[in-house]
Each structure stands twice: as structure tokens, then as C-alpha cells.
Amino acid sequence: MTVERMAGNPGPPAPPRPLDAVDREILALLRANGRASIRSVAEQVHVSRANAYARINRLVEDGVIRGFSARIDHERAGQGASAYITLKIVQNSWRTVREELEALPGATHIALVSGDFDVLLLVHTEDNRALRELVLTRIQAIPEVLSTRTLLVFEETELGRHGPTPFEPAAEQGAPGAPPSDRAR
């Protein structure tokens, strides 16, 4: 162990280890059902529970898996209006603008992009009145924001998710948001 790491300074991250077919299969399973048990994952990818556990821990430690979260039905959660908002911002102000946008209620995705605008922001609000207030009084008040364009979302579909819908129980689930674990049978 290096002195930097022992002193609590993580230093630059290690280069990512290559993923094999089993790792990619584990990621697909967890993407579909982040609450799957280690036993279930191990059975589906045809490895031992110890091997599945070690692989998932390595994927977490390597930063490949950044966390476990719930998929939310925003309309059922009282956020019936969704929109993508494009922003043109002052050159070199990305970090400042990102901090402001992260603090907005209902902001769920922020991306720095290339093209006709600089930032793409996904927001979910209670209704169109709340969306209007968010855009006109919060976002457009950020000094580095030069212009905005709001694109209302009429319907959303998550891609790459082949597991249960957010409100259907899945087999062998643990606590919401918890990483997969072995449970006594």
C-alpha cells in the first residue's frame, strides 16, 4: 500500500480492469433488478455465490457500479410534468452552472453536450405551473445562463431494463436501494 493511500489520500484512481462476459452479464442483471440477491445473480450467470459476491464488490470498488437506486414513476410520485431543458451558457462556466442546476428541485439528469446548446437538463415537477416557475424564476436567473428552450415530455420509456416494472415485486428482493445480498433461506 502506498504512503498516499495509507494517509487517506486516495490519489489518482487506478485504471479500470477489463470486464469479461460474466461481469457484463452481472451488470445487465443488476441494471434490470438492483435488488436481486447474490444467490439469484450467481445462479443466473452460472458462478458460485462467493464468485458473484467478489465480482460485485470489485465492480463497486472499481467504480463501475456507482450505486443502487429505485426507478421512480414520476407521475405516481406527484411529479406529473417532465421536460428536457436546453441551456446555452457562458463559455467556461460549466462547473458553476452545474452546481446551480444540481440544487434545483426535480432535476434528475444534467449533461454537458456539444451542438447548438451547451447543457441538457431533465426535470420533473408537480405540474406545468411549477415547471414554468422553475424555468422562468430559477434557471433563467442564473447569471451564466444565456438562453433556455423547454421541451415537454409527453411519455417516457426506460430502455435497457428487462426486469420487473418499478411497482411489481421481484423475487428475492431486499431493502429498497440496498445492494444485492445473501439472505437466509
- Output 89 or 35, whichever has higher pLDDT: 89
In the predicted structure, residue 19 carries a pLDDT above the cut 90: yes
- Output 71 or 137, whichever has higher pLDDT: 137
Instruction: Say how far apart CA 118 and CA 94 lie, in whole Å.
Output: 9
Q: CB of 134 within 8 A of CB of 140?
A: no
**Which helix or strand (DSSP H or E) is residue 102 part of?**
helix 94-102
Task: Give the model confidence (pLDDT) of 63-87 as tens digits.
Answer: 999 888 777 777 877 878 999 999 9
Mean pLDDT of the chain: 82
Burial of 21 per CB tally in 10 Å (0-12, 13-18, 19+): exposed
Q: CB of 133 within 8 A of CB of 141?
A: no
Q: What is the pLDDT of residue 13?
A: 67
The three grid cell numbers given for residue 71, joined into one nine-digit string: 426507478
* Mean pLDDT of the region 27-39: 90
Task: Give Cα separations from 103 to 106, 138, 157 (angstroms).
Answer: 9, 10, 25
